[in-house]
Amino acid sequence: MAALKKVKKPEARKPEARKLEARKPEAGEPRGLLGAHISTAGGVANAPPRADLIGATAMQIFTKQPNRWAEHEIAPEDAAAFRDALAKSGVRFTNAHDSYLINLASPDPALRDKSIGSFRAELRRCHALGLDALVSHPGNFMDDRADGIARNADAITQSLEQEPGVTRLLMELTAGQGTVIGSTFEEMALLLTKIPARLRKRMGVCLDTAHVFAAGYDLIKDYDGVWARCEDLLGIERLGLLHLNDSKAPLGSKKDRHELLGAGEIGAGPFERIMRDQRLANIPKVLETPKGDDMVTNDRRMLKMLRAFAGKGAGESGER
Angle value at C-alpha 312, between 295 and 56, nearest 5 degrees = 25
Question: Which residues in 38-187 belong to E strands, given as ranges?
Answer: 58-61, 93-97, 133-136, 168-172
Domain-wise residue ranges, the chain: 34-312
What pLDDT is attached to residue 312?
77
Distances (CA, A) of 59 to 79, 175, 182, 188, 259: 17, 22, 24, 24, 18
Distances (CA, A) of 51 to 22, 46, 172, 235: 8, 9, 22, 30
What pLDDT is attached to residue 319?
47
Closest CA to 261 of 210, 295, 218: 210
Q: Determine the Cα–Cα distance for residues 304 and 261; give it in Å rounded to an integer.
A: 11
pTM across the whole model: 0.90
Neighbouring residues of 244: CB distance < 8 A, sequence distance ≥ 6: 209, 261, 271, 274, 285, 286, 287, 289, 306
What pLDDT is attached to residue 252?
98
Q: Determine the Cα–Cα distance for residues 34 and 23; give it in Å rounded to an integer.
A: 13
Across all residues in the chain, what is the average pLDDT? 92
Q: Determine the Cα–Cα distance for residues 307 and 30; give it in Å rounded to an integer.
A: 6
Q: Residues 63-116: pLDDT tens digits?
A: 999 999 999 999 999 999 999 999 999 999 999 999 999 999 999 999 999 999
Angle value at C-alpha 306, between 302 and 309, nearest 5 degrees = 140
> Which of the four pLDDT bands, split at 50, 70 and 90, describes residue 19?
low
Contact yes or no for 191/147 (Cβ under 8 A): no
Provide CATH code, domain 34-312. Answer: 3.20.20.150
Contact yes or no for 102/136 (Cβ under 8 A): yes
Q: Determine the Cα–Cα distance for residues 60 and 37; give it in Å rounded to an integer.
A: 4
